[in-house]
Structure 1
Amino acid sequence: MHWLLNLLLYQGAWLVAVLAKSAWPVLAILALHLWLSNQRRADSRLMLLYMFIGALVDGSLSLLGLFDFGPGVYLVPLWLVALWAALAMLPNHSLAWLKGRLWLNVLLGALAGPLAYWGGVRLGAAQFGWPLMPAIATLALVWAGLWPGLMALAKREAV
């Protein structure tokens, strides 16, 4: 799959998940991604792993009060778990060049992770339960460690 199409599919999944707060449109994009992918098995396994890890990470941060997803959501909404599956579309395609580049992954995680959550908050998908700067700093620390680990999983799962 061309890297630009992969990136556009992910961005579309992120935007529709955050605006609609629904997993269904994300699942449709994931199905399209898998249909177009030449690494279906690796991508599918990575999606399942990322969903599990994402539910643990975001669930833990929710328990700590970092996120507030609104009434009726105890830990992590399904649309956010689906978004973790969408994140798994990137490492074997548009971000494959980052595999094995530890410090670039640390930097990317520390910057892009908090930016994605802050964007979701700004678009009304959630609220921070903490003041903005401590929330962003915590997310930067979490994602500086998490993203390199997620990329290492992708390197292991790649065809």
Structure 2
Amino acid sequence: MWRLATNFILFQSCWWAAFFWQNDALPMMVALIALMLALSDKRKQDILLLASLPIALLLETSAAQFALLQFEGAWIPWWLVLLWVSLLLTINHSLRFITRLPLWQCFFLCWVCAPFSYLGAARFDVLSTPLPWWQFYLVYGLLWASAFTVIIVINRLAGRVEDNT
């Protein structure tokens, strides 16, 4: 139970650091991610799961290219990359419950919940979106839920690979 709580606290620390300090938070975020990996009892599966990071980056860069999200600079910011790394490291721990859901429930939960973080960040000028909030919520939520559900499928496959080794 302590690993689950620690994983949750470390992820939340990454999230809030990114929220408040963006790129100034990078050293702290790297240290928190290293700690998440060091404390993991599923390190091999977590590392395999990090191979799905390009899916998350494709989501974010596509959203930026199609002006769903806007950041300072030409590319998605490094703090968002590290935030995704830390999120991936919660899937086998503090977000483990989501891996046990049927895929349609995982998709729906992500579609309902994920856009709130981005809308909150937009409200405080961490990022911006030119769309009305409800359009962003529907479109980006659909994209985010699709990407995260694929990542969950990859995690399930990675778990099978780990079980067979």
Relative to the length of structure 1, the TM-score reads 0.89
Segment of structure 1 superposing worse, 41-50 or 60-69: 41-50
- Aligned pairs for 1:14-53 (under 5 A) are 14-22=15-23, 23-50=26-53, 52-53=54-55
CA distance in 2, matches of 1:45, 1:120: 29
Matched-pair contact (CA < 8 Å) for 2:59–2:147: no
Larger Rg: 2
Moved over 4 A (4+): none
| Aligned positions of 1:22-101 closer than 5 A | 22=23, 23-50=26-53, 52-70=54-72, 73-101=73-101
**Letter paired with 2:109:** L
**Distance (whole Å) between structure 2 residues aligned to residue 33 and residue 128 of structure 1:** 31
For residues 52-91 of structure 1, what are the alpha-carbon distances to aligned partners after superposition, in whole Å with 9 as ceiling and x for unaligned? 2221111001000111112xx1121111111110111111
Q: TM-score, normalised by structure 2?
A: 0.86
Q: Once the two structures are aligned, what percentage of the paired residues are identical? A: 26
SS in 1 for 2:125: coil
**2:19, 2:47 → 1: CA distance?**
22
Equivalences for 1:69-148 in 2 at 5 Å? 69-70=71-72, 73-101=73-101, 102-148=103-149
SS of 1:69's partner is coil
Q: How many residue pairs are counted as aligned between the two chains?
A: 156
Q: CA deviation at 1:37?
A: 0.8
In structure 2, how many angstroms separate the alpha carbons of the residues matched to 1:11 and 1:122? 19
Amino acid at match of 1:91: I
Alpha-carbon RMSD across the aligned residues, in angstroms, is 1.7
- 2:148 & 2:155 partners in 1: Cα distance? 10
Distance (Å, rounded) in 2 between the aligned partners of 1:19 and 1:142 = 25
Higher helix proportion (structure 1 or 2): 2
Gaps of 5+ in 1: none
